[in-house]
């Protein structure tokens, strides 16, 4: 096997090659580290990376294989971890000077699950400040003069640049889907409560959701299959049968899917080429797509999302506000100040709208397999002072629906232009199956 491009293998192919003895975990780690040395001075995707520690993990995994121990589903696969997710052997600094040098006592639940599956924890990827809007140091791998998006900027960029095949991020508004769209990779935010969040920086219990970045749908399914589960320390998870993500995502749909397209209440924010690209995509899909109207309640979703997010952020970051607000960015100070003024009645009313919104989508999902919508207003904006507009993700995050960015199109400037598929709550694996059909259908048309 040609070892010069091992870093570009998919996670699934890496794991298969290690299980078959074609390559070693050390070879994979060395290939990914070589890619980091080649490109990360420009991309700057990593908040913390210790090459010697990466290789030590890989050597242990190779020793286990030599002694006849069974290989896990991710045995030897390097994975990037957003720097708001606790790692017992690496700092977790949450993108803020207020948490500089912080060393967690134990792994977050998802990190424990990845280690149990045999993954090599490559390092900590850059997050924006406390996973909000103030950018970190990461550049877009396709053009360093453009934003990679946020808040999971380093995770998306590391996967897009070939430094790791898989990375973990989080989304409270648009922090998985938008950077995936800007960086041109698959980014999947599962149903709220599917992936446990114990050991992850809490911004908003109602809205925080973990997600996966990858370069193939198979890898998204592989990653989610390891991460979905129950944890009594996360009250929004619940015991459930294991979801067979890989098996379902690889199946052909029993019937050709029907996709719903809606010009959402933020359609006016879409750039002209985004509107034109989606018009062409709908034409290519022909009778596989129907135009729909969203429930009337959806028009106020952005206001309800902001009320919930800022009120819960104010509670979550109260200590940072009291002891270090002068070290926070202006945008975060403004968010926290607004959150501290949210009234209890307004907050409770906003929370009560979430199940009503989901019920309102019931009729759409009874007819259609998924909703087709832009992942962002357009391609990644020029400059690094902003992470872009998350508005095209807000409704789906508020509803806790599974959402996936598909890197299917490019703008006139050559940068990726994302397509977002949204499914009904709990339909995660079926959404990946629909996405696989869509990618194949577009490629054949």
Catalytic residue ranges: 82, 151, 175
The one-character DSSP state at 364 is: H
Helix (H), strand (E) at residue 171 = strand 166-171
Q: How many CB atoms lie within 10 A of CB 75?
A: 23
Among 251, 290, 252, 283, which residue's Cα sits nearest to residue 445? 283
Residue recorded with tokens 């500089």: 100
Per-residue CA distances from 386 to 57, 98, 137, 168, 389 (Å): 36, 21, 11, 21, 9
From 140, 132, 82, select the one nearest 111 (Cα to Cα): 82
User: DSSP state, 345?
Assistant: H
> What is d(CA 52, CA 56) in angstroms, rounded to the nearest whole number?
6
Cα distances (Å, whole numbers) of residue 173 to 84, 111, 162, 350: 16, 22, 26, 15
* Residue 371 host element (H or E): strand 370-374
Residue 149 contacts residue 185 (beta carbons within 8 Å): no
Helix (H) or strand (E) holding 48: strand 46-48
């Amino acid at each position: 096997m040609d070892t010069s491009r091992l870093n570009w293998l998919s996670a699934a192919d890496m794991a298969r090659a290690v299980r078959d003895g074609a390559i070693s975990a050390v070879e994979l780690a060395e290939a990914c580290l070589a890619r980091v040395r080649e490109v990360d001075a420009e991309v700057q995707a990593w908040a913390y990376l210790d090459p010697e520690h990466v290789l030590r993990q890989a050597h242990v995994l190779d020793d286990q294989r030599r002694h006849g121990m069974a290989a896990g589903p991710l045995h030897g696969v390097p994975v990037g971890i957003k720097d708001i997710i606790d790692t017992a052997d690496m700092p977790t600094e949450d993108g803020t000077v207020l948490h500089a040098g912080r060393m967690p006592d134990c792994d977050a639940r998802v990190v424990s699950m990845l280690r149990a599956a045999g993954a090599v924890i490559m390092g900590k990827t850059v997050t924006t400040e406390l996973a909000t809007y103030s950018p970190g140091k990461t550049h877009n791998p396709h053009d360093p003069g453009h934003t990679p998006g946020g808040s999971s900027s380093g995770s998306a960029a590391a996967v897009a640049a070939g430094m790791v095949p898989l990375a973990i991020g989080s989304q409270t508004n648009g922090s998985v889907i938008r950077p995936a769209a800007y960086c041109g990779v698959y980014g999947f935010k599962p149903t709220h409560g599917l992936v446990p969040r114990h050991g992850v920086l809490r911004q908003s219990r109602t809205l925080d959701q973990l997600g996966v970045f990858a370069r193939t749908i198979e890898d998204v399914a592989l990653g989610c299959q390891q991460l979905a589960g129950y944890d009594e320390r996360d009250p929004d998870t619940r015991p459930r049968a294991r979801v067979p993500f890989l098996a379902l995502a690889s199946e052909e749909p029993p019937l050709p899917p029907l996709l719903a397209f809606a010009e959402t209440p933020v359609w006016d924010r879409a750039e002209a080429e985004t509107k034109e690209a989606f018009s062409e995509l709908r034409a290519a899909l022909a009778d596989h797509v129907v135009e729909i109207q969203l429930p009337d309640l959806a028009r106020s979703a952005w206001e309800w999302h902001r009320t919930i997010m800022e009120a819960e952020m104010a509670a979550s970051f109260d200590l940072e506000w009291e002891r270090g607000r002068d070290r926070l960015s202006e945008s975060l100070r403004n968010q926290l100040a607004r959150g501290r003024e949210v009234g209890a009645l307004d907050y409770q009313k906003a929370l009560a709208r979430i199940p009503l919104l989901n019920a309102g989508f019931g009729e759409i999902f009874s007819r259609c397999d998924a909703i087709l919508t832009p992942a962002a207003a357009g391609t990644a904006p020029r400059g690094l002072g902003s992470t872009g507009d998350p508005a095209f993700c807000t409704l789906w995050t508020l509803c806790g629906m599974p959402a996936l960015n598909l890197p299917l199109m490019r703008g006139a400037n050559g940068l990726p232009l994302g397509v977002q598929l949204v499914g009904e709550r709990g339909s995660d694996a079926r959404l990946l199956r629909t996405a696989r059909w869509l990618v194949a259908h577009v490629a054949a048309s």
